[in-house]
């Protein structure tokens, strides 16, 4: 639903914005959506894989269902979307795929076995696809945000937020606009010779 809200927010922007609701872990829905988009526009220049969910629990308490649910959206969804779009991009000889990893995919995080596994997997797929698709004119990179003010933090206690800020060298959490600029850079021709990279936008948290 957040994507549909974004369409409304961007209604006054230049160009044509189309919202599509789909399950990124469903191959049939993904292929149908990509075909419709490609048919409508004739070309796909950029794919940003940004769908994601959480279902946190410690290893001892995490259910198989919770593990599978996060992997389906956060990892399988990236695979299915990228596979469908890469076919269109390689046919046209150009394109940029920007995946969403996380600082959690690099360092792990207490209570996030499923999320950490998915985001680490995204980094592995990014490197692999950069090697496979580079010769066909398609670049593949990833953004690894640190802790950022999004809906995912809505239920996090204030004392935990304070702890996260103190752990970050810049002593604050990121703003969505700051993360978005990294995606824009990797999607644009300004990064035309960059592929296979994971750009950390984390206020120095990885240090």
Sheet holding 198-201: strands in order across? Answer: 46-49, 95-100, 138-145, 198-201
- 115 given a catalytic annotation: yes
Judging by beta carbons within 10 Å of its beta carbon (0-12, 13-18, 19+), is residue 125 exposed, middle or buried? Answer: buried
Tokens 């956060």, residue? Answer: 74
Q: Per the residue annotation, which of 115, 147, 183, 193 is the catalytic one?
A: 115
Please give the torsion angle defined by the CA atoms of residues 33, 80, 2 and 59, in that order, rounded to the nearest 10 degrees: 160
How many other CB atoms sit within 10 Å of the CB of residue 130?
A: 19
Residues designated as active site: 115
């Amino acid at each position: 639903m957040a994507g549909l809200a974004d369409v409304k927010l961007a209604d006054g922007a230049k160009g044509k914005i189309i919202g599509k609701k789909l399950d990124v872990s469903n191959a049939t829905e993904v292929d149908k959506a990509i075909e419709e988009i490609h048919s409508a526009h004739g070309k796909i220049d950029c794919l940003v894989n940004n769908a994601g969910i959480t279902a946190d629990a410690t290893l001892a308490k995490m259910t198989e269902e919770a593990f599978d649910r996060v992997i389906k959206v956060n990892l399988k969804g990236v695979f299915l979307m990228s596979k469908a779009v890469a076919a269109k991009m390689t046919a046209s000889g150009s394109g940029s795929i920007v995946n969403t990893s996380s600082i959690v995919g690099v360092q792990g995080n207490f209570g996030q076995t499923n999320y950490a596994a998915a985001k680490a997997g995204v980094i592995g797929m990014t490197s692999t696809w950069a090697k496979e698709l580079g010769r066909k004119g398609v670049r593949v990179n990833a953004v690894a945000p640190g802790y950022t003010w999004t809906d995912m933090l809505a239920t996090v206690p204030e004392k935990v937020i304070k702890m996260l800020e103190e752990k970050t060298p810049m002593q604050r959490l990121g703003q969505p606009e700051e993360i978005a600029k990294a995606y824009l850079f990797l999607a644009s021709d300004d990064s035309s010779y960059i592929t296979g990279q994971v750009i950390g936008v984390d206020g120095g948290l990885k240090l």
